[in-house]
Structure 1
Amino acid sequence: MDRDSFSQSLFGPPGTLWIHSMLTVIIVMTMLLSIRLLLSRRKIGYFSMVVALGITLAQYMQLIGRAWAPEAGDVQTFIELTLKVLAFVMINIGIFQLYNPTRKRDSAVMILFFLLTAAACSTYWLAPYWLESSGVQTKLLRPLGLELYLFLLLFVSFLLINPRIGQNGKYQAMLTVYFITHTLHMANLYIFDNRQPFLNLLEQIVPFVFHIILFLFIFERIIEIMQAIYTSSITDGLTKLYNRKYFHGRLTQAIQQRLPVSVIFSDIDNFKKLNDTKGHHMGDQVLKQVAQIVKEETEDTGICGRYGGEEMVVMIIDASTAPDELAERIRARVESETIVTVSMGHSKLKKGIGPDELVKQADEAMYKAKTTGKNKVVGWS
């Protein structure tokens, strides 16, 4: 391939067609992910993303057609710009809705921006009446309102949306790349009059980075959802400790592996009276406080779970940790840091004992602590 042929394939219509076609593939892949999330989660944010990506797809399909007919009329240029602005607005609305419920105030702000977008679009057609200039100048100045409006949208997105979503790093990178792309476009159009082939190529390539980050953003959201589903299936919603089923499974596994297992069983003293006198809200607060103490004291030695009601259990798999000493630390902290006390029992794994029997022994030791004064630690004997 000679130099002229290579230059034509890279900077001419074939290169533009190839780049935009590859971008279209990435957009379609991102759209399929969003559709899958929409069908499974039925959340408005995914619907907004599907709409945004559909608009973006239409924009690039038009750009593919334009690669073979570079001279665009006023209507075609207006459609391209409008699709570009609408796609950006909808992508940001979708990203915001992925992490936030749409409240009335948020809906009002979105409607305001749609009205501003309509006003910005109107400047394209009103420009000839405002400007007394030649046809070439009018053609350049006509889209200026929409082009500058995109810079405003970038600034507002960073200011309003970024603090209220997850994956801030990816979102900031997306906005930065979009800013670079749009700045390249403005420089290429208004300074170099689209006569710099390298700038034209760069303007087409940089959006790859934006759409790859957007794809990774949606993919990461899928992972977040999967992690949230798994976490909710093994933890208690109130205390965030492991639930009884998961705890029992881990205890059974540890015993099968012949680890040096001990179990601590705790129960909050006079919890029913607390609920009756101070309300269930206070009871929930106390449960969370006690659970946090239990979690902090056992994070290096084993796992803890909510067994039921106000009962919490600890599995110790660290042979160097004495269960009576750990239980006493928990009891002392609960007494000093909360408005309640706990009674605790502990038992140690012996040959021939299964998980149910081990928990039962710790439970009976706790019951002995309850019936002999409460707010104490008793071992199984």
Structure 2
Amino acid sequence: MDSITLSDVLFGPTGTVWLYSMLTVIIAMTLLVSIRLLLSRRKIGYFSMIVALGIVLIQYGQLIAKAFSPQMSDVEAFAALLLKVLAFVMINIGIYQLYNPTRKRDIVTFMFFVLATATVSLTYWLAPNWLQSGDDNSRLLRPLGLELYLFVLLFLSFLLVNPRIGQNGKYQAILTVYFVTHTVHMANLYLFDANQPALRLLEQTLPFVLHSILFLFIFERVIELMQAIYMSSITDGLTRLYNRKYFQNRVHQAVQQRMPVSVIFSDIDNFKKLNDTKGHHMGDQVLKQVAQIVREETDEAGICGRYGGEEMVVLITDPDASAGALAEQIRSRVEAETIVTVSMGYSRLKKGVGPDELVKQADEAMYKAKTSGKNKVVGWE
């Protein structure tokens, strides 16, 4: 029995089958992640990715079969090339849909590229009519239209998809690796008649990099979605401050750990009158402005939340920060930068005081500020 040499592994059918088989494992993993996301998120982008990756699996299954039988009929060669182009189109459609809602104009654009692909694919069969020379030229020219069309799609992907998605670095890396892979393929096919072993090996190994980055791209999207879901569960949708439940949990944790914390409780003065006279839209704008000021002033000292309505609260965890000074800074900025004022109260954690009592003390101090003239800061004593 003849032994297998390193040359056979790298350049022979055995190496080709091994490389493509390993690659199908990566693609299958990406496909499974996409299926799981489709079932849980019901987003059409994952369906497009599933279709694209299914096409890619068929494509590499065909390439594995080709390793054992290098001679391919015109129909088989056409099917392989068309699968390659369709997979690229669908992957880019899927990536776009992961970050954007699919509108009617997007559907029209997608259908245009699918139809354009179908139209360009006709050049594979029309090419022989353009030739009056031998079969070799005919064989080389048949796939040229689709091969060049892929370069056009790469350029359009950089131009149209890249600015409209996240993870631009990974996406640009995907397109770059695909461009290099396709350029190597074209050079090997048209300069060396597909007989250059080093270029063929490079053409077979670069897809590992491509699909590894694609897997990381989708996995990173999963992390982004998980972070978005978590943040939406602990923040207020309008002000983007922490919601009441999360804020209370943080106060309870701080008190249980006996941290030297303070709480600031604020309320926008005459907010109901503002809503009644200038409308809820103006009220929402004021809430966002005040929330931004509170967030900026407390960014390094603690956390801030929306307690309810026009009430905002701050948990000061920095032992060196003065609750009174911080509250006054917020009050003065709100008065200077917005059309409203705020009344503020604060309390410091003392021995024997629980988390609910600490917040209640700050609330009562704020109430004193509001009933004694508004637009002032009062501390609990």
| TM-score tier (shorter) | over 0.9
Q: 2:372 is matched with which residue?
A: 372
1:337 aligned partner, one-letter code = E
Paired residue secondary structure (1:279) = helix
Paired residue secondary structure (2:345) = strand
Q: 2:245 is matched with which residue?
A: 245
Paired residue secondary structure (2:352) = coil
- Do residues 341 (structure 1) and 341 (structure 2) align? yes
Task: Provide Cα deviations, 1:258-279, integer angstroms capped at 9, x if missing partner.
Answer: 1111110000011111111111
Paired residue secondary structure (2:267) = strand
Aligned equivalents of 2:5 and 2:347: distance in 1?
81
2:132 aligned partner, one-letter code = E
Instruction: Give how far 1:373 is off.
Output: 1.0
Task: Provide Cα deviations, 1:51-75, integer angstroms capped at 9, x if missing partner.
Answer: 0000000000010101101111100
1:373 aligned partner, one-letter code = G
- Do residues 236 (structure 1) and 224 (structure 2) align? no
Paired residue secondary structure (1:343) = strand
Aligned equivalents of 1:34 and 1:236: distance in 2?
30
Instruction: Give how far 1:2 is off.
Output: 9.2
- Do residues 13 (structure 1) and 42 (structure 2) align? no
Q: 1:55 is matched with which residue?
A: 55
Instruction: Give how far 1:319 is off.
Output: 1.9
2:242 aligned partner, one-letter code = Y
Aligned equivalents of 2:72 and 2:13: distance in 1?
14
C-alpha distance 191-312 of structure 1, shift in aligned 2 (>3 A)? same
Q: 2:173 is matched with which residue?
A: 173
Instruction: Give how far 1:5 is off.
Output: 2.5
Task: Provide Cα deviations, 1:80-105, integer angstroms capped at 9, x if missing partner.
Answer: 00000000000000000000011122
Paired residue secondary structure (1:264) = strand
Q: 2:74 is matched with which residue?
A: 74
Aligned equivalents of 1:118 and 1:10: distance in 2?
35
Q: 2:134 is matched with which residue?
A: 134
Moved over 3 A (4+): 1-4
Q: 1:323 is matched with which residue?
A: 323
**Gapped runs of 5+ residues in structure 2?**
none
Aligned equivalents of 2:53 and 2:287: distance in 1?
45
Aligned equivalents of 2:54 and 2:15: distance in 1?
23
Task: Provide Cα deviations, 1:112-165, integer angstroms capped at 9, x if missing partner.
Answer: 111110111011011111222211100000000000000000000000000000
Question: What number of residue pairs does the alignment pair up?
Answer: 381
Q: 1:199 is matched with which residue?
A: 199
Q: 2:281 is matched with which residue?
A: 281
Q: 1:222 is matched with which residue?
A: 222
Q: 1:118 is matched with which residue?
A: 118
Task: Provide Cα deviations, 1:247-267, integer angstroms capped at 9, x if missing partner.
Answer: 111111111111111110000
Q: 2:264 is matched with which residue?
A: 264
Paired residue secondary structure (2:5) = helix
Task: Provide Cα deviations, 1:309-368, integer angstroms capped at 9, x if missing partner.
Answer: 100000112222111110000000001111111000011111110011111111011111
Aligned equivalents of 1:341 and 1:146: distance in 2?
66
1:366 aligned partner, one-letter code = M
Aligned equivalents of 2:372 and 2:9: distance in 1?
89
Q: Which segment drifts farther, 213-222 or 6-15?
A: 6-15
Q: 2:143 is matched with which residue?
A: 143
Aligned equivalents of 1:2 and 1:223: distance in 2?
50
Instruction: Give how far 1:4 is off.
Output: 7.3
- Do residues 312 (structure 1) and 331 (structure 2) align? no
Paired residue secondary structure (2:123) = helix
Paired residue secondary structure (2:340) = coil
2:290 aligned partner, one-letter code = V
Aligned equivalents of 2:218 and 2:315: distance in 1?
38
- What root-mean-square deviation, in Å, do the aligned CA atoms of Structure 1 and Structure 2 show? 1.2
**Gapped runs of 5+ residues in structure 1?**
none
2:51 aligned partner, one-letter code = V
1:219 aligned partner, one-letter code = F
- Do residues 32 (structure 1) and 38 (structure 2) align? no
Paired residue secondary structure (2:122) = helix
Aligned equivalents of 1:314 and 1:4: distance in 2?
71
1:265 aligned partner, one-letter code = F
Q: Which segment drifts farther, 317-326 or 10-19?
A: 317-326
Task: Provide Cα deviations, 1:154-190, integer angstroms capped at 9, x if missing partner.
Answer: 0000000000000000000000000000000000000
Aligned equivalents of 2:257 and 2:76: distance in 1?
70
Q: 2:354 is matched with which residue?
A: 354
Instruction: Give how far 1:3 is off.
Output: 9.3
1:127 aligned partner, one-letter code = A
Q: 1:88 is matched with which residue?
A: 88
Q: 2:190 is matched with which residue?
A: 190
Paired residue secondary structure (2:77) = helix
Aligned equivalents of 2:125 and 2:134: distance in 1?
16
Aligned equivalents of 1:277 and 1:28: distance in 2?
60
Paired residue secondary structure (1:67) = helix
Q: 2:45 is matched with which residue?
A: 45
Q: Which segment drifts farther, 314-323 or 220-229?
A: 314-323
C-alpha distance 2-297 of structure 1, shift in aligned 2 (>3 A)? farther
Task: Provide Cα deviations, 1:266-293, integer angstroms capped at 9, x if missing partner.
Answer: 0001111111111111111111110010
Instruction: Give how far 1:7 is off.
Output: 1.1
Aligned equivalents of 1:71 and 1:367: distance in 2?
86
